[in-house]
């Protein structure tokens, strides 16, 4: 079932076309990633799906409903720029946001307390927001999205501002929600995060969709032109490569892409085996980041 469906959606601000004829749909129970560089139109797309503003043209249906206002209580939205009332108590704030989503006061309070203790934030209940650190505020904001148990979560750059430990905590929260059947839309410009979490992705650049589909399909359609090789080296026999695009090179690891026309993989393996002791060699499709760069540069040409 399609939880979200965009058809030919366009939105401009003054003379800048922020979102240009975008169409895609999101399957329920999956994690969908909107990817793209800064200023690509991710946030504008997301805001329209969250019902923050309307598209100039085209149609957005959420849960099959073209009037998003009617389904807003089933959506949890985490904006890119986080915002809380500075002088309000954490618990009051959480209840307020949940009440706005239609939860009765008592349920809102119970859910807020449940999530606070679940995420090790029980002590902050009666603190005012300005007394909390930035990371703590992020956590509160994240909780505020979950309180009304939304079927669709819309998260704009959800991990920005979190330390690595909390990134892991919230990744697990998202995976749990997914197994509970929730649909999750997230935007990020960090491709590695998307690769770990997303089932489907949509790459946006300059307001246009450049690539869209399930992550596994996208990867399967690519040539296996990426080599990751790990080895033991004393540093004396450094590896020199010609006619390849090196993605990453450290003392004991190299990652590169090659072009079959002017690169002989077998030769390379033979050569490298003479020089160093190979621990692992992997020939695979390129990562999402590489795919994205390919697509964007292709558009430019």
Partner 1 sequence: MKFDSKFWIIAKRDYLSVVKSKGFWIGTFLIPVIWLLVVTLPGFLMVYFWERTEMKVAVLDKTNSSIGKEIVKADSNVFYLDNSNERELNAKILNDELDAYLLIDSQSIKNNSVTVHTKGGGGIALIEKVENVVGKVFRKHLLAESGLDTSLIRQIETETKVNTKKVTREGIKTDYSSFYSFFSYFAGVALFMLIFIYGGLVMRGVVEEKANRIVEILLSSTKPFDIMLGKVIGLGSVGLTQIFAWIVLLLAISLISTQIISLLTQPEPIAQSFVNEFNINSQVPKQFEIPPIPAEFVLMFIIYFLLGYFLVASIYAGLGSTVDHEQDAQIIITPINIIFILPVFLINIISANPNSLLSTLLSLFPPFTPVLMIARLGSSTIPLWQPLLSILLMLLFIFIILKFSAKIYRVAILIYGKKPSFKEIYHWLRKA
Site for partner 1, rule CB under 8 A: 13, 47, 50-53, 69, 72-73, 75, 77, 79, 81-88, 96-97, 99-101, 144, 154
Nearer to partner 1, 155 or 272 (CB): 155
SS3 29: coil
Q: How far is CA 236 from CA 53, 232, 242, 249, 278, in A?
A: 60, 11, 19, 15, 15
The least distance separating partner 1 from the CB of residue 77, rounded to whole angstroms, comes to 4
Contacts 24+ apart (CB under 8 A), 290-294: 290/226, 290/247, 290/257, 291/203, 291/211, 291/218, 291/219, 291/222, 292/35, 292/36, 292/191, 292/203, 292/210, 292/211
The least distance separating partner 1 from the CB of residue 99, rounded to whole angstroms, comes to 5
Nearer to partner 1, 140 or 254 (CB): 140
Nearer to partner 1, 134 or 298 (CB): 134
d(CA 141, CA 214): 29
The least distance separating partner 1 from the CB of residue 18, rounded to whole angstroms, comes to 12
Nearer to partner 1, 81 or 234 (CB): 81
The least distance separating partner 1 from the CB of residue 101, rounded to whole angstroms, comes to 6
The least distance separating partner 1 from the CB of residue 33, rounded to whole angstroms, comes to 20
Nearer to partner 1, 64 or 102 (CB): 102
Nearer to partner 1, 183 or 226 (CB): 183
Nearer to partner 1, 47 or 227 (CB): 47
SS3 268: helix
d(CA 239, CA 232): 12
CA dihedral of 192, 198, 203, 206, whole degrees rounded to 10: -80
Phi, psi at residue 243, to the nearest 5°?
A: 60, 30
Cβ atoms of 36 and 203 closer than 8 Å = yes
d(CA 167, CA 118): 15
**Structure tokens belonging to residue 158:** 């959800």
Q: How far is CA 125 from CA 95, 109, 120, 170, 179, in A?
A: 11, 11, 11, 20, 29
Nearer to partner 1, 50 or 276 (CB): 50
């Amino acid at each position: 079932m399609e939880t979200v469906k965009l058809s030919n959606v366009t939105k401009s601000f003054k003379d800048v076309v922020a979102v240009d004829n975008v169409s895609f749909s999101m399957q329920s129970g999956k994690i969908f990633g909107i990817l793209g560089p800064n200023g690509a139109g991710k946030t504008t797309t997301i805001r329209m799906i969250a019902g923050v503003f309307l598209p100039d043209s085209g149609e957005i249906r959420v849960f099959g409903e073209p009037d998003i206002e009617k389904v807003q209580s089933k959506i949890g939205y985490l904006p890119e720029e986080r915002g809380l009332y500075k002088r309000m108590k954490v618990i009051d704030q959480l209840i307020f946001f949940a009440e706005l989503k239609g939860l009765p006061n008592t349920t809102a309070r119970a859910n807020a307390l449940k999530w606070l203790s679940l995420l090790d934030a029980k002590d902050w209940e009666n603190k005012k927001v300005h007394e909390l650190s930035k990371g703590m505020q992020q956590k509160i904001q994240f909780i505020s999205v979950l309180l009304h148990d939304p079927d669709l979560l819309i998260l704009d750059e959800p991990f920005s501002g979190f330390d690595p430990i909390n990134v892991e905590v919230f990744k697990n929260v998202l995976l749990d929600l997914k197994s509970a059947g929730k649909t999750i839309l997230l935007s990020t410009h960090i491709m590695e995060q998307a690769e770990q979490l997303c089932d489907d992705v949509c790459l946006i650049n300059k307001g246009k969709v450049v690539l869209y589909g399930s992550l596994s399909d996208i990867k399967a359609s690519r040539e296996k032109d990426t080599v990751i090789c790990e080895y033991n080296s004393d540093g004396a026999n450094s590896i020199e490569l010609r006619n390849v695009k090196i993605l990453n090179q450290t003392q004991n690891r190299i990652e590169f892409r090659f072009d079959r026309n002017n690169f002989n993989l077998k030769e390379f393996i033979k050569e490298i085996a003479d020089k160093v002791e190979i621990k692992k060699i992997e020939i695979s499709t390129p990562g999402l980041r590489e795919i994205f760069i390919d697509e964007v540069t292709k558009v430019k040409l």
